[in-house]
Amino acid sequence: MGILNVTPDSFADAAHLTDAARAVDAALRMEADGADVIDVGGESTRPGAEAVSATEELARILPVLRGLAGRLRIPVSVDTYKAEVARAALDAGAAIINDVSGLRHDAALAEVAANRGAALVLMHTRGRSQTMYAEAVYDDLIGEIGAELRGSVALATDAGVRPDQIIVDPGIGFAKRPAHSYGVLARLPALAALIDRPILVGPSRKSFMREAVHDRPPAERDWGTAAAVTAAVLAGAHIVRVHAVAEMVQVVSVAEEIRRAIDH
C-alpha cells in the first residue's frame, strides 16, 4: 500500500503533494513501482496533529481521486475516519476505507462500508491525536490491542459489514511508545491468533524508530523502515503501508521468499 498524503503538514514527506496534478503523477509512479493499493489521505493523523473539517479534507482529496479515475488500475483507499468523507471518496472511485480510529470517532463510517460493500481497515489507537500518548499504558500489550480491535470489528459487523470486508491494523506508533511498537512487530503472530482477519502494518518512517536510526528525520528512515517491513512480513502481515514503494517492493519480495523457506 503506497502512501499518498495530500496534506500541507505530512510528517514524513519532503514534498507535500497539495497540488492535485502532482499527487496524481505520484500515485501513477507508485503503481508503476509495484504498489498494489494507493492510500490517499487529506488529514494528518500524526500525534499532535490538528483536526480538519470534512469540507477541507474533501477539498484536498476529491481532485486527486477524480484525476486518478480511469487512469489507475489498482484499488484506491481513502484514509479517513469521517463517514461524510468516506461516502464522497467512494463516489469518486475509492474502494477501501482506512479508518485510523477503528470506528471510535464516527460510528456511521461502518454503515457507509456496509451499504457500499467497501473494504474497511480498522486500526487500533486510543484517544485523539492530541492525547494518544497519554493513553499509551498497557498491562498486556497484545491482549489489550487484540481485545480493542475485536471491539472495532464487532462495531463493524453489527452495522452490517461482512467479516470478509474487514482488515485490521495494530496501529504502530498510535497510542504506543516505541517499546510498544517494537512489541507489536515482535509479537504479531500472537495478535493474529486473537483476530481472524488480514493484518495491515504501517511502520513507514515513524518516530518509534527515531532512537535506533540516531535521530534521522522521517524522510531518511527508509532503511529502518525496511527492517520493520521485513519483520512484519516474516511475522505474517498481509499488507504493509509505505512511503518508498519501489524500495519496499524489493524488501517485501525478499522477505516473502524467506518466509516461504521457513514454512517449508
Catalytic center residues? 206, 241
Residue 107: φ, ψ to 5°: -60, -25
Q: Tell me the three state secondary structure of residue 4.
A: strand
Number of helical (H) and strand (E) elements in the chain, helices listed first: 9, 8
C-alpha cell at 82: 469521517
| Residue that has been written with the C-alpha cell 517491513 in this structure | 229
Task: Say how far apart CA 16 and CA 22 lie, in whole Å.
Answer: 9
Task: Say how far apart CA 88 and CA 92 lie, in whole Å.
Answer: 6
Nearest to 252 by CA among 221, 229, 222, 224: 229
> What is the full DSSP assignment across 182-206?
HHHHHTHHHHHHH--S-BEE--TT-
- Asked whether the beta carbons of 97 and 88 are under 8 A apart, the reply is no
